[in-house]
């Protein structure tokens, strides 16, 4: 009887240990399934004393570069830095991480990307070099690429969210008029203007006003994708469709603020323009981002745009949210 009781206790202990191991595995799986850092937070893992020196400062300057086309200077990320020995579970939950490793054992300076190392989704950018000079050259050549890695990752996360949670109002209106699919933020719940080859939607809030536009026009040549052509076309379209309370109030482009580049998109090449808008004869204004691309089946240019009106507030997260929406367009 006693032997049976001992065996029973042993089995219970074994099962408990197994359950504990399984529970530990489950907790680990749960821990690796989500991040808790806010969007555009970035953790830099490097020796603090080194970061204060010229080489660390150069890297931080590249990471903290200002976003083009905003009304006031705003950095790409909110950056936190720690020593490598302090990288514990508290910090491993960051979705964006840079790990600096300068050691003579490395044969060359290079950057590598690792995904979902500690949590999901996560991007860890490893910057390694044999010495400070080669590291500085790596950052000098790849500073823009370093920023793009994390910005594109954040835009991708936002796109994934928008495919599940989005504005049905915008989706239905765009589908009906143009036959396209686009996922705009859910709180864009009003169609302000549904005109000829044009739709304008907003959330109609007094503050943090998010706006989405889509319009088309015939494609004639590649001269379409120049700042001069873009600005002239945009101003003519907005003058008719985005007006104030009076007839002499309408949206115009602040030409000195513009920057543009061609980039890859899901439907082909995209002409991306960033800058500032303002209302003629009014005090309103803010940033915008615009994507122009050709629908080759219809031989038309399709322009999608997000613009923000958020006076006295930071606008980085709003404009990036709208840019992610533009990237969901399917023609």
pLDDT one-digit tens code per residue, 163-204: 999 999 999 999 999 999 999 999 999 999 999 999 999 997
DSSP state, residue 330: B
**What's the rounded mean pLDDT across residues 74-94?**
95
Provide the pLDDT for residue 132: 96
By the 8 A CB rule, do 288 and 304 touch? no
Q: How is the beta sheet containing 209-218 ordered, strand by strand?
A: 190-195, 198-202, 209-218, 300-309, 285-295, 268-279, 251-265
- pLDDT per residue over 45-73, tens digit each? 999 999 999 999 999 999 998 998 999 99
DSSP assignment string, 65-120: PBPTT-SS--BS-EEEEE-GGG--TTTTT-SEEEEEEE-TT-SS-EEEEEESSSSS
Bond preceding residue 121 cis, omega within 30 of 0: yes
Q: Say what the pLDDT of residue 206 is.
A: 61
- CATH 3.40.1000 positions along the chain are 167-326
Q: What is the C-alpha to C-alpha distance for residues 281 and 127, in angstroms, rounded to an integer?
A: 50
Q: Cα–Cα–Cα angle for 39, 180, 151, nearest 5°?
A: 20
What is the average pLDDT across 28-37?
59
Give the Cα separation of 17 and 6 in Å (integer).
Answer: 16
Q: Residue 59: its pLDDT value, please?
A: 94
| Of 281, 283, 280, 276, the residue nearest 305 (C-alpha) | 276
For β-strands 96-102 and 41-45, DSSP reports them as parallel
- Burial classification of residue 151, based on how many CB atoms lie within 10 Å of its CB (0-12 exposed, 13-18 middle, 19 or more buried): middle
List the helix and strand counts (H, then E) for the chain. 7, 12
Q: What is the pTM of this model?
A: 0.86
Dihedral (C-alpha) 123, 129, 135, 140: value to the nearest 10 degrees? -60
Dihedral angle of Cα 155, 161, 167, 171, to the nearest 10 degrees: 80
> Two tokens at 57?
């400062």
Cβ-Cβ contacts under 8 Å for 177 (sequence gap 6 or more)? 194, 197, 199
Tell me the CA distances in angstroms from 264 to 5, 11, 268, one per residue in order. Answer: 70, 60, 6
Considering the chain, what percentage of its residues have pLDDT values greater than 90? 82
Q: Token digits for 263?
A: 């980039």
Q: Give start-end residues of each CATH 3.30.379 domain in the chain.
A: 41-162
The domain over range 167-326 is classified in CATH as 3.90.1580: no
Nearest by Cα to 48 from 78, 84, 76, 94: 84
pLDDT in tens, 141-166: 999 999 999 999 999 999 999 999 99
**pLDDT band at residue 33 under the 50/70/90 scheme:** low
Model pLDDT for residues 206-247, shown as the tens digit of each residue: 666 899 999 999 999 988 999 999 999 999 999 999 998 898
pLDDT 10s digits, 263-292: 999 999 999 999 999 999 998 999 999 999
pLDDT the model gives residue 23: 43
Q: Is the dihedral of CA 165, 172, 237, 220 positive or negative?
A: positive
Which fold, 41-162?
Chitobiase; domain 2 (3.30.379)
């Amino acid at each position: 009887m006693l032997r049976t009781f001992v065996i029973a206790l042993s089995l219970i202990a074994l099962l408990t240990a197994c359950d504990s191991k399984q529970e530990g595995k489950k907790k680990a799986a749960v821990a690796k399934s989500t991040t808790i850092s806010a969007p555009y937070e970035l953790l830099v893992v490097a020796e603090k004393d080194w970061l204060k020196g010229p080489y660390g400062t150069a890297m931080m300057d590249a990471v903290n570069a200002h976003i083009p086309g905003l009304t006031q200077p705003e950095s790409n990320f909110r950056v936190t830095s720690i020593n490598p020995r302090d990288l514990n579970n508290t910090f491993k939950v960051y979705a964006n991480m840079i790990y600096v490793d300068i050691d003579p054992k490395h044969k060359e300076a290079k950057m590598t990307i690792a995904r979902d190392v500690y949590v999901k989704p996560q991007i860890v950018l490893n910057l390694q070099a044999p010495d400070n000079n080669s590291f500085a050259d790596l950052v000098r050549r790849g500073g823009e690429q370093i920023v793009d890695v994390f910005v594109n990752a954040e835009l991708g996360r936002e796109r994934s969210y928008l495919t599940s949670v989005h504005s049905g109002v915008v989706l239905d209106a765009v589908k009906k008029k143009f036959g396209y699919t686009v996922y705009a933020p859910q709180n864009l719940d009003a169609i302000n203007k549904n005109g000829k080859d044009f739709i304008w939607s907003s959330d109609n809030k007094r503050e943090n006003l998010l706006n989405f536009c889509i319009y088309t026009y015939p494609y004639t040549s590649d001269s379409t994708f120049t700042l001069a052509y873009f600005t002239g076309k945009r101003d003519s379209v907005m003058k008719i469709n985005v007006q104030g309370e009076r007839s002499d109030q309408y949206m115009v482009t602040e030409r000195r603020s513009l920057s543009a580049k061609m980039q890859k998109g899901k439907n082909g090449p995209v002409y991306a323009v960033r800058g500032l808008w303002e209302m003629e004869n009014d005090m309103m204004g803010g940033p915008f981002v615009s994507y122009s691309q050709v629908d080759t089946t219809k031989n038309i240019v399709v322009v999608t745009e997000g613009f923000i009106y958020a006076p006295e507030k930071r606008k980085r997260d709003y404009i990036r949210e709208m840019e992610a929406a533009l990237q969901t367009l399917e023609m």
